Each structure stands twice: as structure tokens, then as C-alpha cells.
Amino acid sequence: MKKYGLALGSGGARGAAHVGLIEIINKREINIEVVTGSSAGAIVGAFFALYPKANLVRVFDRVIKKNIDIINSNFKILNKKITNFPKMIAGKSFLQNDFVYDIYKELYGRKRFSECKIKLGIVSYDLESGQEIEITEGYIIDAVMASSNVPGVFPPLRLGGMQHLDGGVLNPIPVNFAKKLGANYVIASDLSYQSNNNIKYDNGLDFLLSIDDNKNDLMNRYELKNANEIYKYPLTYSWVDFSAFNDIYIQSKSYIIEQLEREGIQS
């Protein structure tokens, strides 16, 4: 008997695609019993695990619209090279994550993993040991904060004797973790697609930071080889394009429907 798992990948604002996929999964009446998430996948997956029947697009659209000014004003700082330069030597991040905490508090409150309707697993990265961390218990807000803590952008989150950073560092899409939690059929939502292969770098620093992304391909392939259904989205949006949440949701949903039609599956 199939025990369905859902593995949701990292990718910032492109995580709107996960929302579209979950809607279609619910419409197909697939009973997801395990959900795992990394970074953006943790944000969406945790809410889905708590409230499987919620109207996710309405929830996330409302939260993002309400907070879009503070989100955009913070991420705008990432482009200010002059003010960011000293932070690379004297600090541990370009931004502080208080505004992220406030947003997550709205979504998860003080809910725990034990209150989830679907078994939930979240991945993060421990800066001290350099290891991937699998989180299946405790307060959900802590795990989601840890998992979506982009290195350099936000400071490491001290929790449980570790310094947590983004789960996408070592596990961009936790398919094997979903299997470890009991799923024998894993649906994977992969946000790693990059449409732009132009080689254009402003300077050596830009080059150094950009080419590290190439390390994700091997990790992605390693996870996806054990997935049973894979959804990829040829999106051109960057991970900080939160203003485009709705467009990403609509576009990716149409990609999923096209893929299902090609495979002769009714959505």
C-alpha cells in the first residue's frame, strides 16, 4: 500500500509553487502522510502539516501582502554593497531576522510538531559541526526559523546546542528524509530550476558567491533519484521576489497541470 510523502525544496519566494502543488494534491485526493521541507519548503510544509485542509494560497497571500513593505525594505539592503562590506568582516549577517520571526509567529504561533496532522520533518544545517540536522520535534517556529536561515543574509540561530543555518545548504530537497520518516512513495517539489545560464558577474565577489550554487546540482540529483513523482518549475523569479508570490503560484500551477496532462493524470 502506498504511503505518500511530500518533499518540498528550498528556493525562497519560488516556494509559492509548493502551494500550487499541494492544492492539486488535495484535489487528486492523495492522502499525504509525511511532509518534509527545506527552507521555503519548511515554511509551506509546516503550515500544511498543521492544517492540511487550509486554503494555503489565501493564507500565504494575506501574510505576504501584509508584510511586503518590511520584506522588501530588508531585502533591498542586500544590494547595498558599500554598507554590506563592513558586515562581511565585522558581523555575521547582512540582515537581522526579527521581521522573519514576526511573520512566522503569525503562521505557526506556539504550535509543536506533536500537534501536526501530518508527520513533519524539517532540515537545517549546523554551522558548528558542518552537518545536516533533521528536526522532528519541538516548536515549529524554531525549526522553520532554523531551516530558512540563509547564510550570510541572516545570523546563525542558536538552538539546542547548535548554530542553525538554511537547510538548503546541504539538502535542497529532502526526499530521503521523507522515506526515513515512513513514506514509500515520495512526491518531490523541486525549485532549483535556473533558466538563466548567462555568465555575467559584477566582480570577483559576485563570481565567488554565484558559483557555489553549482554545488546544489549533485545534491539535488542524489535526493531526486529516490523520488517517485518530480515537479520542476521553469520560473525566472529570484528567491527574493516575494512581491511576485501570486504570479509564481499561478505559473507553477499551470506547469503542474500541463505535466499531469502529459502523463494522462486528471488534475
Partner 1 sequence: MGGFFEGFYWESGVLEFLAKHEENLTIYTSSVGSLRGLFYSMYGENFFGRLKDFINKKNNPIKDIISSFELYNNLYAQTTALIRLGRGKMSLYEPQILKEFLKDYFGKDTLKSLNKDINFEVFELKSKKVVNLDKNTSIVDMLMMELAFPPYYPYYLYEDGYFIPSSFLSLIPQKFSSDSLIISFDSNLDYPIPKNTVEILLKVSYSRSLKNYQILTEKFTKIEPKKNLTSYFDMSAFFDGQSRIKEWWDNK
What residue ranges bind partner 1 (CB under 8 A)?
81, 85, 87-94, 125, 127-128, 130, 132, 151-152, 156, 163, 165, 169-170, 197-199, 201-205, 207-209, 211-212, 214-219, 222
Looking at beta carbons only, is 68 or 208 nearer to partner 1? 208
We find the least distance from the C-beta atom of residue 227 to partner 1, in angstroms, to be: 16
CA distance 154 to 96: 6
Taking the complex as a whole, how short is the minimal distance between the CB of residue 249 and partner 1, in angstroms?
27
Angle between helices 140-147 and 40-50 (to 10 degrees): 160
CB of 171 to partner 1, least distance (A): 8
CA 165 to chain CA mean position, Å: 13
Residue 146, Cβ density class (10 Å: 0-12 exposed, 13-18 middle, ≥19 buried): buried
Neighbours of 232 (CB within 10 A): 19
Contact predicate 3/32, CB 8 Å? no
Work out how close the CB of 229 gets to partner 1 at its nearest, in angstroms, rounded to a whole number: 22
By beta-carbon proximity to partner 1, the closer residue of 41 and 156 is 156
Active site residues: 39, 166
Give the nearest distance from C-beta 108 to partner 1 in angstroms. Answer: 26
Nearer to partner 1 among residue 20 and residue 41 (C-beta): 41
Is the CB of 79 or the CB of 266 nearer to partner 1?
79
Q: Which is nearer to partner 1, 209 or 250 (CB)?
A: 209
Q: How far apart are CA 169 and CA 38, in angstroms?
A: 9
Which is nearest to 123 in space by CA: 40, 211, 52? 40
Of the candidates 22, 85, 42, 16, the one whose C-alpha atom is nearest the C-alpha of residue 241 is 16
* β-pair partners for 127: none
- Beta carbon of residue 204, minimum distance to partner 1 (angstroms, whole number): 3
Closer by beta carbon to partner 1, 211 or else 265 = 211
The three cell numbers locating residue 14:
519560488
| Long-range contact set of residues 141-144: C-beta below 8 Å, sequence gap at least 24 | 141/101, 141/104, 141/105, 141/108, 141/109, 141/110, 141/111, 143/42, 143/46, 143/113, 144/42, 144/43, 144/46, 144/104, 144/108
